[in-house]
């Protein structure tokens, strides 16, 4: 593994779209009520620790002022693509973790403005070269992608809900993107194949160059046209896991931001990027909402990367 201190070549501009929402999360020991969440919010909080991020998303005019202030407080996040829709309701989601803190039950999903027309990508963002399509309806992801014609690499996230209700739109999206990140149960659900590597290969048949299949506490596998790579999860002790919400989005944030700051998208860089994703996810799970990635210092991030590299050495 190479360290982050490698001097960056020319960095690439990174854009994220996805939900910005209000989350209510229950764990076996604690509860967080109406905190800031959403796929794009988590992604941006993590990615911005490594590279500047342009955020495109939509909220309703009920979006709490303190949540907006939290987004505004993130360094290196350009919010010119954050639209506030008059009369609209902000995306809201509720989830409950089972005792093992791995399995989660969705209690409610209120799409609100996310069910309406997607936000506009500002003209100033149209030249973005790296695009991450955070979890939302795949038809919306496709419409957003079409607004970024100069992209060099686009990666999408998805989830079971969309595999169920928008399968064809998802398959269409896969023909337009370069990569997809999804968890092992989603990969199995989408392809009908249980084995993560075989499911990943099946997904490449839909069009992308690579698939990252996340396996929760067992790490992740990159299935790429040029090869296969694996990364373990950070070996977190029980007391490090407070709330796993956002682990997937912050994993993607660390992954994409490493590509952005190096300006590279070759197989080896993707492999190192998996480790930065893992490091970001390990901070997210240590606190509710965006707090885990926000409060880690730059030195904490570097130190955890080095610890992880030691743990994972082969
Ligand atoms: P993760 O734990 O990485 O899967 O991400 C959890 C975040 O995704 C939460 O902050 C939710 O607000 C958001 N989320 C949950 N369901 C959806 C959905 N159907 N579409 C988009 N975002 C969602």
Q: DSSP letter string over 24-35?
A: EEE-SS-EEEEE
Judged by DSSP in three states, 293 sits in helix
Chain mean pLDDT for the chain: 94
Say if residue 2's pLDDT is above 90. no
Q: What is the pLDDT of residues 188-198, one digit of tens each?
A: 999 999 999 99
Confidence of residue 136 (pLDDT cuts 50, 70, 90): confident
Question: Which atom of ligand 1 is nearest to 135's Cα?
Answer: 21
| Ligand 1 pocket mutation pick from 21, 45, 103, 181 by most atoms within 8 angstroms of CB | 21
Ligand 1: which of 18, 215, 245, 250 to mutate, most ligand atoms within 8 Å of CB?
Answer: 245
Q: Annotate 61-102 with DSSP letters as a single string.
A: TT--HHHHHHHHTSTTEEEEEEEEETT---EEEEEEE-TTSS
Question: For the segment 4-25, what is each residue's pLDDT rounded down to a tens digit?
Answer: 333 444 678 999 999 999 999 9
Query: Could you give the domains of the chain?
Result: 14-312 (3.40.1190.20)
- Ligand 1 atom closest to the Cα of residue 23 is 12
In the chain, how long is the greatest CA-to-CA distance? 55
Q: CA neighbours within 13 Å on the CB side: how many for 62?
A: 11
Q: Which residues line ligand 1 (CB under 6 A)?
A: 19, 21, 23, 37-39, 42, 93, 109, 135-136, 159, 161, 245-249
pLDDT at 257 over 70: yes
Mean pLDDT across the stretch 31-41?
97
Minimal-distance CA residue to ligand 1 atom 5: 246
Q: What is the pLDDT of residues 161-211, one digit of tens each?
A: 899 999 999 999 999 999 999 999 999 999 999 999 999 999 999 999 999
Specify the pLDDT at position 102.
82
| pTM for this prediction | 0.95
Contacts of 23 (CB under 8 A, 6+ apart): 32, 34, 35, 36, 37, 38, 92, 93, 94, 95, 245, 289
Please tell me the distance from the alpha carbon of residue 91 to that of residue 6, in angstroms, as a whole number.
39
Nearest CA to ligand 1 atom 13: 38
**Which pLDDT does position 4 carry in this prediction?**
39
pLDDT value of residue 133: 98
Q: Provide CB contacts within 8 A for 175, sequence distance 6+.
A: 206, 207
Cα distance between residue 23 and residue 244, in whole Å: 13
**What separation in Å is there between the alpha carbon of 238 and the centre of ligand 1?**
23
Protein residue whose Cα sits closest to atom 14 of ligand 1? 38
């Amino acid at each position: 593994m190479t360290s982050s201190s490698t001097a960056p070549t020319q960095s690439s501009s990174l854009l994220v779209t996805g939900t910005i929402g209000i989350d209510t999360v229950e764990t076996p020991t604690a509860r967080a009520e109406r905190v800031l969440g959403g796929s794009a919010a988590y992604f941006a909080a993590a990615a911005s620790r490594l590279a500047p991020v342009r955020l495109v998303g939509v909220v309703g005019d009920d979006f709490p002022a303190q949540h907006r202030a939290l987004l505004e407080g993130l360094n290196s996040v350009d919010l010119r693509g954050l639209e506030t829709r008059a009369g609209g309701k902000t995306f809201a989601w509720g989830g409950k973790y089972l005792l093992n803190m791995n399995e989660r039950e969705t209690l409610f999903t209120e799409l609100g403005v996310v069910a309406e027309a997607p936000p506009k990508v500002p003209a100033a963002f149209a030249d973005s070269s790296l695009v991450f399509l955070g979890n939302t309806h795949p038809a919306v992801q496709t419409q957003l992608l079409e607004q970024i014609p100069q992209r060099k690499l686009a990666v999408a996230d998805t989830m079971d809900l969309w595999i169920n209700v928008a399968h064809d739109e998802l398959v269409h999206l896969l023909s337009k993107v370069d990569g997809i990140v999804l968890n092992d149960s989603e990969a199995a659900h989408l392809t009908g194949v249980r084995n993560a590597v075989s499911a990943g290969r099946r997904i490449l048949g839909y069009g992308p160059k690579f698939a990252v299949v996340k396996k929760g506490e067992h790490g992740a596998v990159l299935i790429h046209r040029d090869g296969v790579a694996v990364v373990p999860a950070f070996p977190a002790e029980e007391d490090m896991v407070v709330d796993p919400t956002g682990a997937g989005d912050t994993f993607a944030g660390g992954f994409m931001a490493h590509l952005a700051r190096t300006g590279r998208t070759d197989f080896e860089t993707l492999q190192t990027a998996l480790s930065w994703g893992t490091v970001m996810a390990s901070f997210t799970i240590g606190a509710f909402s965006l707090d885990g990635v926000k409060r880690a210092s730059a030195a904490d991030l570097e130190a955890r990367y080095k610890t992880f590299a030691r743990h994972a050495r082969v």
